[in-house]
Amino acid sequence: MIKVKFYGYSDVSEYIENTQVDVVDAFQDFYPESELEIEINKEEEEFSFIFKDRWSGPEEVDEDCIKEICNNNELYCTILENDEPNKSYYYDEDDVFVYD
């Protein structure tokens, strides 16, 4: 199963909620059938928005969509294949988008 996980760091509920609205709206414009799962780890001040859909492989997920969401929201993203990281993307403070 392929999952797309956007994540960031904050413990401010209002920030997390606002970011969730932006990320869900942007991602579901591309993938309206995707299902959302939210994880919030207060101890680590980390939050995650995990999307599941019927992708057959990581290459089916639009990288431009991911890049835009990461840059606009200063988030990180990992595409998981069978719960193992396949590709990672992250926003760099110097406005450079990096692929792993």
Domain count, the chain: 1
- 23 within domain boundaries: yes
> Which backbone phi and psi does 90 adopt, to 5 degrees?
-155, 155
The counts of H helices and E strands in the chain are: 2, 6
- 6 within domain boundaries: yes
- 40 within domain boundaries: yes
**Per-residue pLDDT band at 96 (split at 50, 70, 90):** very low
Closest CA to 49 of 8, 91, 18, 89: 8
- 33 within domain boundaries: yes
Domain carrying residue 48? 2-95
- 14 within domain boundaries: yes
Q: What is the CATH number of the domain that holds 44?
A: 3.30.70.600
pLDDT of 31 strictly over 60:
yes
pLDDT tens-digit readout, 36-56: 999 999 999 999 999 999 999
pTM: 0.89
Are β-strands 46-52 and 2-9 bridged in parallel, bridged antiparallel, or unpaired?
antiparallel
- 100 within domain boundaries: no
Question: What is the mean pLDDT of the segment spanning 20-30?
Answer: 96
